[in-house]
Amino acid sequence: MKKILLLLLLITFTVFYAFAKTPSQQIHIVSHTTSPKNIHFYHKNPHGKIFKNFHTLDDYISSQNKHLSFAMNGGMYLRDLSPQGLYIENGKMIKKLDTTQEAYGNFYMQPNGIFFITKNKEAHVVTSKGFQYTDKINYATQSGPMLVIEGKIHHKFIPYSKNVHIRNGVGILPNGDLLFAISSKKINFYNFANFFKQHGCKNALYLDGFVSRIYLPKKGITQQDGLFGIIIGETI
């Protein structure tokens, strides 16, 4: 009888352990780490035309005798490809902060947040409520929801949620560098947020979902399709 009980306990523990390990086993994420000093936000070219994709941005960067080493869509957008929520580019406010608290969609899952870079090349991710505008901000984009807030995963995320999509986001590493990430397979919010937390990001922000793409030639990834509003690019 004792042997049977021991065997049942062993089976139960094995099943529980396998179940507990499932989320990490399902994670497939491509990431890129860089300094804020190399990052720029792009929406329109000097002629007022929206870049829309990495191909046109790459052509433009090349025309400036620079090299686009990384790019990712930089937040949600409206039907006309204008930014949804706050957008600042080269110190100029293109669109004001969206303070709506209750509305449909991931953007409005509270708290949502702001990813911004100051003119002295410091990067920050803060909640929209905690954001304070200053003329020292060079770039800013608003999106939502926050993924990690002061070291804690967003309270609405469920570890075994079946709400899975391709997702991309950005977090601030302990040394001040940026961690960009995109899932190569569908993933839920909790596991995606946990990726940033495990890498030491005290704060991280979700940028967008199934439309997300990444351009990262050094890893052999040059996705040229897609249609975006804001694009975040690294130039060297």
Write the pLDDT tens digit of every residue in 186-204.
999 999 999 999 999 999 9
The answer to whether position 2 is within a domain reads no
Identify whether 17 is part of a domain: no
Domain that holds residue 221: 28-235
Total number of domains in the chain: 1
Helix (H, G, I), strand (E, B) or coil at 52: coil
Main-chain dihedrals φ then ψ at residue 68, nearest 5 degrees: -85, 110
Is 2 strand, coil or helix?
Answer: helix
pLDDT in tens, 54-98: 999 999 999 999 999 999 999 999 999 999 999 999 999 999 999
Give the angle 155-157-161 at the CA atoms, nearest 5°: 155
Answer for the pair 73, 168: CB distance below 8 angstroms, yes or no.
yes
Is 165 a domain residue?
yes
The distance of Cα 113 from the centroid of its chain, to the nearest Å, equals 11
Q: How does pLDDT run across 100-140, given as a tens digit for each residue? A: 988 988 999 999 999 999 999 999 999 999 999 999 999 99
Does 81 reside within a domain?
yes
pLDDT tens digits along 204-220: 999 999 899 999 999 99
Residue 212 lies in a domain: yes
Stretch 155-160: mean pLDDT, rounded? 96
CA dihedral in degrees (175, 196, 54, 98; nearest 10)? -100
User: Does residue 168 lie in a domain region?
Assistant: yes
Interatomic CA distance for residues 204 and 148, integer angstroms = 5
Cα(184)–Cα(204) distance, rounded to whole angstroms? Answer: 19
* pTM above threshold 0.75: yes
Task: Classify residue 77 as left (phi > 0), alpha (psi -120 to 50) or beta.
Answer: beta
